[in-house]
């Protein structure tokens, strides 16, 4: 029983059993009840006063509000969700909502404070005035944003409030009463909302309107449609199924982009959310599965934090492999990833004919992708339609990145085979396309001649295969870890694609194509710890680390932890092993369930 409670991050008296079964940024799917055999999952519905009775597995909670001033909110489960026994429908909580003023009066204090319980009512005023919300011992099971409908009408405030609440109470389910519907469920789930209600569907039904995944619409009489609550519920079920399927297949962003286009306000909310997410450390992943694709099919993707994070890294931290910043060759991208496996890049590589040049791809939406990073996330995992057309944002990003790349390196020749125009005041730029297609015989001949002339003039020397691999691995280590110093003096062994990094006769890392990153053995842990090459987590002195990493074990942690990254595990000041993060840093340490998987132990 104690192990069950610890896995949920709860005490034996806690009320709501829950654990995350799928996550992507702020969007999460929670299993409710016994984690070994859950009885419901999110996104889910909350029945409110006046609702018809529906399946408890779809609507595992009920809530009611009395007529007193200030009102009292009662929130209860319709299923057995309380550990450790999970025997009867529970938990049940009641709490005062307090006086809730309009969000426009954010400078005012409502006077009558809201109560504090495992179900926590929060308003915009409370976020601004109630210091008790910063109490680190406050860990509610459910947070209710009671004025979410009013906040949605205030530019930027809804997504700001949700982001604050997710970061402050990462282990809680979030409900935005009266706001959700099948038409915005995917977008709100993306923001971090877990629980929904049918208030808007009841309003729509009263005026003969259906709320669908594609937006509100009038019924079609020729199709015998009605707007009754049975039909409204059918659309809820379809929307919930779409979100759960998208979470399982890592396609939430695509679903969100499509749904946001049904409403100008949703587009606005999504753009503001993307901007806020750029400021959240530890939100993005460091590694993804080999079959994961980052969909770049819509214009809205230009504001996605993945894009801005990549631009920031290339512009401020990236450095070309040592000795490779004399000759820069700019190339177009390819649909196939990594680029070198495409037919077009096979022709480019043969035309270049040497490994003495620094090859950099021009691509949408990432901007610039160096050859030495083409196997890293997200460079090897984005999916974009190839039309040859560029948006203003894409052109501006490419020019910014080109400028900073050249400023931070010592290029003496730039050979441009990308088809895009670049200029520089002091460095000669040779256009090898001259209006021809990149793969044309004439353009490839010009590419060959330009490279040959630059190599001769600058006496540039090619690299052997092992040196190329080491350079690539070092660049990837700088992107995914805090340093590449641990790779110094190693040798590459094995056959592609499963290369080994060895020091003497000892294997220090294995290149894993499954995660586009390194698989690390015990032998490398001391070196990684000495160089502080990975984020650190520290366990309490009095715990025994037997299984994976759960919140109650954590004494301190690096808030920049990204999902998928390897972590150095410390206890009493000594490194004791490695773990691999399942949850990003914003969820630590109060999110129930496994935060990191045990990987290696000394």
Q: Is the pLDDT of residue 299 over 80?
A: no
Q: What share of the chain is helix, strand, coil (3-state, %, to 5)?
A: 35, 25, 45
Nearest 5 degrees, angle CA 583-CA 588-CA 594?
Answer: 50
Q: What is the pLDDT of residues 541-578, one digit of tens each?
A: 999 898 899 999 999 999 999 999 999 999 999 999 99
Question: Distance between CA 119 and CA 599 in Å, rounded?
Answer: 36
| Residue 7 pLDDT class (50, 70, 90 cuts) | very low
Q: What is the pLDDT of residues 16-66, one digit of tens each?
A: 999 999 999 999 999 999 988 999 999 999 999 989 899 999 999 999 998
CA dihedral (72, 73, 79, 80) in degrees, to 10, reads: -60
Lowest mean pLDDT segment, chosen from 66-80, 386-400, 574-588: 386-400
In terms of C-beta density within 10 A (0-12 exposed, 13-18 middle, 19 or more buried), how is residue 436 classed?
middle
Q: Is the pLDDT of residue 12 over 70?
A: no
Structure confidence at residue 282 (pLDDT): 87
Decide if 354 contacts 327 (C-beta within 8 A).
no
Mean pLDDT (the chain) is 91
Decide if 553 contacts 596 (C-beta within 8 A).
no
Decide if 188 contacts 57 (C-beta within 8 A).
no
pTM attached to this predicted model: 0.90
Residues 6+ positions from 55 with CB-CB distance below 8 Å: none
Closest to 289 measured CA to CA, from 251, 250, 254: 250
| Residue 467 pLDDT class (50, 70, 90 cuts) | very high
Helix axes 252-260, 264-277, angle to 10 degrees: 140
Structure confidence at residue 256 (pLDDT): 94
Mean pLDDT of 476-487: 94
Structure confidence at residue 109 (pLDDT): 63
| Residue 236 pLDDT class (50, 70, 90 cuts) | very high
Which residue is associated with the tokens 């499509």? Answer: 258
Q: What is the pLDDT of residues 148-199, one digit of tens each?
A: 999 999 889 999 999 999 999 999 999 999 999 999 999 999 999 999 999 9
| Residue 100 pLDDT class (50, 70, 90 cuts) | confident
Q: Is the pLDDT of residue 396 over 50?
A: yes
Structure confidence at residue 340 (pLDDT): 93
CA dihedral (13, 14, 20, 24) in degrees, to 10, reads: -150
Nearest 5 degrees, angle CA 437-CA 438-CA 439?
Answer: 95
Structure tokens at 12: 């034996």
Mean pLDDT of 7-12: 40
Mean pLDDT of 73-90: 90
Share of the chain above pLDDT 70, in %: 96
User: So what's the architecture of 294-458 in CATH?
Assistant: 3-Layer(aba) Sandwich (3.40)
Query: 46: part of which helix (H) or strand (E)?
Result: strand 44-47
Q: What is the pLDDT of residues 344-384, one digit of tens each?
A: 999 999 999 999 999 999 998 899 999 999 999 999 888 77
| Residue 111 pLDDT class (50, 70, 90 cuts) | low
Structure confidence at residue 333 (pLDDT): 92
DSSP states along 443-507: HHHHHHHHHHHHHHHHT-----HHHHHHHHHHHHHHHHSS-SGGGTT-EEES-TTS-EEEETTEE
CA dihedral (481, 483, 485, 490) in degrees, to 10, reads: 20
Structure confidence at residue 9 (pLDDT): 40
β-strand partners of 577: 569, 601
Structure confidence at residue 202 (pLDDT): 95
Structure confidence at residue 35 (pLDDT): 87
Structure confidence at residue 515 (pLDDT): 87
Decide if 224 contacts 272 (C-beta within 8 A).
no
What CATH number is given for 485-601 in this structure?
3.10.400.20
Decide if 40 contacts 79 (C-beta within 8 A).
yes
Structure confidence at residue 131 (pLDDT): 87
| Residue 478 pLDDT class (50, 70, 90 cuts) | very high
β-strand partners of 360: 330, 370
Structure confidence at residue 339 (pLDDT): 93
Residues 6+ positions from 7 with CB-CB distance below 8 Å: 19, 35, 550, 592, 593, 594
| Residue 4 pLDDT class (50, 70, 90 cuts) | very low
Q: For the chain, which residues make up each domain, given as ranges?
A: 2-277, 294-458, 485-601
Q: Is the pLDDT of residue 222 over 80?
A: yes
Structure confidence at residue 416 (pLDDT): 97
Structure confidence at residue 1 (pLDDT): 38
């Amino acid at each position: 029983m104690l192990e069950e409670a610890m896995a949920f991050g709860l005490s034996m008296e806690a009320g709501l059993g829950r654990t995350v079964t799928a996550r992507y940024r702020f969007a999460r799917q929670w299993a409710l009840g016994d984690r070994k055999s859950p009885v419901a999952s999110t996104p889910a519905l909350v029945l409110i006063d006046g609702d018809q009775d529906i399946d408890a597995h779809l609507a595992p909670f009920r809530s009611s509000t009395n007529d007193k001033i200030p009102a009292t909110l009662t929130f209860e489960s319709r299923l057995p969700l309380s550990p450790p026994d999970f025997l009867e429908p529970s938990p049940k909580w009641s709490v005062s909502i307090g006086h809730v003023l309009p969000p426009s009066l954010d400078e005012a204090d409502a006077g009558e404070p809201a109560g504090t319980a495992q179900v926590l009512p929060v308003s915009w005023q409370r976020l601004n005035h109630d210091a008790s919300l910063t109490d680190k011992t406050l860990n509610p099971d459910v947070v209710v944003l009671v004025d979410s409908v009013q906040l949605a009408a205030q530019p930027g405030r809804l997504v700001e409030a949700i982001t604050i609440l997710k970061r402050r109470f990462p282990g809680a389910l979030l409900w935005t009463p009266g706001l959700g519907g099948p038409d915005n469920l995917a977008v709100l789930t993306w923001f971090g909302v877990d629980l929904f209600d049918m208030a808007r569907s009841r309003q729509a039904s009263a005026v003969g309107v259906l709320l669908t995944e594609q937006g509100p619409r009038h019924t079609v009489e020729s199709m015998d449609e009605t707007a009754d609550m049975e039909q409204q519920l059918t659309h809820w079920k379809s929307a919930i199924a779409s979100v759960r399927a998208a979470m399982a297949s890592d396609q939430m962003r695509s679903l969100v982009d499509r749904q946001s286009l049904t409403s100008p306000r949703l587009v606005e909310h999504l753009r503001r959310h993307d901007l806020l997410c750029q400021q959240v450390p530890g939100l993005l992943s460091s590694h993804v599965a080999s079959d994961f694709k980052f969909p770049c099919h819509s214009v809205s993707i230009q504001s996605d934090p993945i894009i801005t994070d990549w631009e920031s890294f290339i512009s401020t931290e990236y450095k070309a492999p040592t000795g490779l910043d004399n000759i820069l060759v700019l190339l177009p991208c390819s649909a196939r990833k990594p680029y070198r496996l495409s037919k077009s890049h096979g022709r480019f590589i043969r035309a270049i004919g040497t490994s003495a040049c620094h090859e950099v791809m021009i691509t949408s939406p990432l901007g610039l992708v160096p050859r030495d990073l083409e196997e890293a996330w997200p460079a090897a995992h984005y999916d974009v339609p190839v039309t040859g057309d560029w948006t203003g944002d894409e052109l501006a990003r490419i020019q910014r990145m080109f400028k900073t790349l050249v400023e931070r390196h010592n290029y003496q020749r730039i050979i441009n085979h990308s088809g895009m125009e670049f200029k520089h005041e002091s460095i000669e730029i040779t256009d090898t396309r001259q209006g021809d297609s990149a793969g044309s015989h004439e353009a490839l001949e010009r590419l060959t001649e330009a490279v040959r002339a630059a190599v001769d003039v600058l006496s540039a020397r090619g690299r052997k295969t092992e040196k190329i691999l080491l350079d690539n691995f070092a660049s990837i280590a700088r992107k995914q870890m805090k340093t590449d110093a641990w790779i110094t003096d190693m040798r590459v062994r094995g056959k592609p694609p499963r290369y080994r990094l060895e020091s003497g006769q000892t294997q220090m890392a294995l290149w894993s194509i499954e995660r586009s990153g390194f698989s690390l053995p015990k032998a490398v842990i001391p070196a990684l710890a000495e160089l502080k090459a990975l984020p650190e987590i520290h366990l309490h002195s009095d715990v025994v680390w037997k299984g994976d990493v759960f919140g109650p074990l954590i004494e301190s942690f690096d808030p920049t932890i990204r999902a998928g990254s390897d972590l150095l595990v410390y206890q009493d000041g000594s490194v004791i092993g490695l773990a691999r993060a399942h949850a990003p840093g914003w969820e630590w340490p109060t999110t129930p369930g496994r935060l990191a998987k045990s990987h290696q132990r000394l």
